[in-house]
Amino acid sequence: MGMAALLLAIGVLLSRILGFLREAIIAYLHGASSFTDAYIAAFQIPEQLSYFLAAGTLSITFIPLFSSYLSKGDEEGGWRLFSVVATTMGTILFVCIILGGIFAPNIVPVLNPGFKDPEQIRLAVLMTRIVLPAQLLFYFGGLLQATLFVKEKFWPAAISPLIYNICIILGGVLLNPSLGIVGFAIGALAGAFFGPFGLSFLVARKDLKLKLIFDLKDTGFLEFVKLSFPLMIGVGLVSVDQWLLQYYGTLQGTGAVSWLMNGRKLMMVAFALIGQAAGQAALPFLTRLFHEEQYEEMGTMMTRSLKRVGFLSLVAASGLAALAKPIVYTIFERGAFSASDAEITASLLTFFAFGLASWSIQTFAVRGFYARKDTITPMIISSVVALFAIPVYYLLQNSYSVQGLAAASSIGISFNAVATLLVYSRKNGGIDLASILKSLVSGLFHGLLSGAAAYRVSILFTPTDTFEKIIQLGTASLVFGVVLLVLSTLTKASELDFLLSKVRKKLFRKKRS
């Protein structure tokens, strides 16, 4: 699993770098304005449609089923399941996309109550209709990637987001003179075709055995629906978080949604590198161990991975909080994105950083349930937490504006992660909670000391241009890394051993060659 997680993490890192460039270009051209808020709003209906049809969770629901067929030597049965799911759910999704486009003018104002400008609403509706068809491409691409994951081919999942982001950037830059911010939406549609769908199809086409089978009564399809249904109806905090941030964000004035989403995306970069990559890579392995009834090894793998994920997430969170201003100012402050926009975004990044470890732990912990074909339990946990969290978002945004919303996000996901981990341990056993807690404390210790050193160095600078901002951020980051390396060496932090050992091996190989 280690190499798979590392490959996915590298892919995520490169994708996020392109994502930084994409967001920086959008901010440069359009700032934090009604146009950028409309662009962000354009993805609401498509993403909610994907959520309610469990299109975004195919790796969770489809991998265990497809893997079970292959583990029994019934590859033909696995591809029949693929055909039925692709045809049946694809047809349903297509119909929903048509309806979403028709009723977009009615839905967009409801989801964005702070949008009062008719031109802003018109723009959001137009871009919604452009982006909606991409969900069909994401769906088929997700199915294809799930089959590749089972066969332990991870590189297409690492590369396709790069293609997606490149297309968005090209669409936005090339079409901006004539279409404005709409060019980015067109780029997103093109990116979905060439990236998640196109690349996955090219790699999987030799093994692909697709037949058009529309069968609502197929046994395999019904089992797929059984696994997916809790994810469709469950209003979990993991998904509701972004909806609430955007909904209440529109009430905080022009640009508020853009500040929130930019701050959240920066935090999500670290989450994707640590928690998301580890979770994606782990599921096929956990599923195989479950099918082979190696429950003890499954528990050992989860404990080991959760220790690493928790440790690294707390270290990264400390770095984000300590260097929030240099990070945001370096990436965003230029063009139409003002210093005041950057100041607010940096404060939001600090609050979002507090929830990074919880996002990572939550994402990995639920894979233990999914590997056991249990999607109901995590859905119930997340839905209950969301029910109690919604008033927190409302109260904090009333009292503390956008900073309150960012704090509510971190508070909510923290309760969700703790509840998920405790319920899994109580229901299935096998994981060492005391050992995981020890690693979290260790991660916090290493992160706080490294972050404090980096912060002290960063405030020595008073940058006036982009080059000086890069020097400030680079120097402070270097100090953070050096202090962390020294501390981990002195404390012999086992959570970093696997990374340091890989680095040593590569360096040793280079020296020998």
Beta strands in 172-267 (DSSP E): none
Output the pLDDT for position 48: 79
Amino acid at 432: D
Nearest C-alpha neighbor of 290 from the set 280, 279, 301, 281? 301
Contact 73, 279 (CB under 8 A): no
Contact 170, 187 (CB under 8 A): yes
Output the pLDDT for position 508: 53
The values of phi and psi at residue 334, to 5°, are -170, 160
Output the pLDDT for position 177: 93
Output the pLDDT for position 263: 94
Output the pLDDT for position 67: 77
First to last CA, the chain: 27
CA distance 338 to 328: 11
Output the pLDDT for position 143: 85
Output the pLDDT for position 5: 55
Output the pLDDT for position 190: 96
Output the pLDDT for position 341: 92
Beta strands in 352-428 (DSSP E): none
Output the pLDDT for position 507: 52
Mean pLDDT by 10 residues, the chain (513 residues): 58 77 88 90 86 60 77 80 87 92 94 90 95 92 82 78 93 94 96 91 82 82 78 68 90 90 90 78 81 88 92 96 96 88 96 96 89 85 90 94 96 95 91 94 96 96 92 97 92 74 55 51
H or E stretch at 137: helix 134-150
**Contacts with 256 (C-beta within 8 Å, 6 or more apart), sequence order:** 37, 114, 249, 250, 401, 402
Output the pLDDT for position 56: 52
Contact 460, 490 (CB under 8 A): no
Output the pLDDT for position 309: 92
CA distance 376 to 139: 22
| Token pair 């989860």: residue | 302
Q: In terms of C-beta density within 10 A (0-12 exposed, 13-18 middle, 19 or more buried), how is residue 401 classed?
A: middle
